[in-house]
Amino acid sequence: MAETVHIPGLVLTEHEFAVPLDHARPDGERITVFAREVAAPDGRDRPFLVYLQGGPGQEAPRPSGSPVAPGWLGRALRDYRVLMLDQRGTGRSTPVGLLPGRTPQEQADYLKHFRADSIVRDAEFVRAALGVDTWSVLGQSFGGFCTLNYLSTAPESLREAYFTGGLPPVGLHPDEVYRATYATVLERNRRFYLRYPGDRDRVRALHERLDAGEVVLPNGSTLTGRLFRQVGSMLGMSDGAERLHYLLERDPASPAFAHDVAASLPFNARNPLYAVIHEASYADGHATHWSAARVRPAEYEDDVTLFSGEHVYPWTLSDDRGLAPLAEAADLLAEHEWPRLYDAGRLRACEVPCAAAIYTEDAYVDRALSEGTARLLPRLRPWLTSEYEHDGLRVSGGHVLDRLIALARGHA
């Protein structure tokens, strides 16, 4: 039974759905998928816009009330009711934790069902349950990967599709993806130290302390240098350089430093799916074999001051006590031959109006690879912009979404 509450400026309706863990086995194990419907309080009937969050492994935003809904949500509510899907394994959907009591193979077999293709099957289940003929989709980052899968598998269910920093490559091996993103992250490192030249010595001194095992995280993990370098993932966001600088100015011996590092590590036990499924989200018909670790540039071996980006490694899990129970399962998933996520032929024939914000120096989803995918879709209008970083949807107010709506409808 759906439950509706009214908060200032918004009407929220909560839905729960029991969906198959494996949609190929509809009579098998079931999990819960949660969705929150967000509507303007004026009572007007508007079509649905499904918001697919970044990740994998991150729940949808939690809207707060105000006289006028802020940011992109406020812009969306002028034209739509927004359905915020807690993708399977996140938020109020059946959570994925450390899967205790299962062997590594059983953990891996369970985790195989949390990629974009399964999320899209969930969305189709929800659409049918709500009695909706067609709806529109907004995919942010990994949500764009889900959106492209949607266009490959069920385009007849979509009225419009919007991508923000999340138009993935089609048919490429993850090695090609990571070679491209490493190049961008190395450039982000160069710019960071150009802005904050004193931080290079701070990082060198910090690594000496880390090599001596002097920093322990709140979960009891000894912070290793290779784990610490992953905080560089924040350099892809609009405020990332400043956040990293302010982290480095803290005394490494202080509790604040340990807590802030733990909060800054992109892969952690709060969202274990992000660590174990991240590379697989790029596996369009391939095994990854720990791609990011294999193609890591030689510069990282020679210079400890270089930060990595959104790159997950085997030691990401083994060095973190919170993720270590899934390390063997992650190794098995790295050897798994993943099925295709996208159908290039269907995408070339797709008639759904689409628009995509492609950020020129996106450190997470490579610009050139996104442009290649954009050329596959005959009705996609790309917007190439250097005005925003990967978090443009969140930080732009309603500007990014407004631009995409206008493009998809031929008004810009």
Note the pLDDT of residue 67: 62
Give the residue among 144, 65, 53 at the shortest CA–CA distance from 90.
Answer: 53
Note the pLDDT of residue 385: 97
Give the residue among 344, 346, 390 at the shortest CA–CA distance from 367.
Answer: 390
- Phi first, then psi, for residue 302 (nearest 5°) are -90, -20
Note the pLDDT of residue 2: 85
Note the pLDDT of residue 70: 76
How many Cβ atoms are within 10 Å of 59's Cβ, its own excluded? 20
Note the pLDDT of residue 69: 65
Residues in the chain with pLDDT < 50? none
Is residue 293 within 8 Å of 316, Cβ to Cβ? no
Class assignment of domain 3-171+341-408?
A: alpha beta
- Please measure the distance between the N-terminal and C-terminal CA atoms of the chain and give it in whole angstroms: 41
Pairing of strands 10-20, 30-39: antiparallel
Domain spans in the chain, listed from the N-terminal domain onward: 3-171+341-408, 174-334
pTM over 0.75: yes
How many Cβ atoms are within 10 Å of 322's Cβ, its own excluded? 21
Note the pLDDT of residue 65: 74
Give the residue among 109, 98, 119 at the shortest CA–CA distance from 34.
Answer: 119
Which residues are identified as catalytic? 141, 362, 390
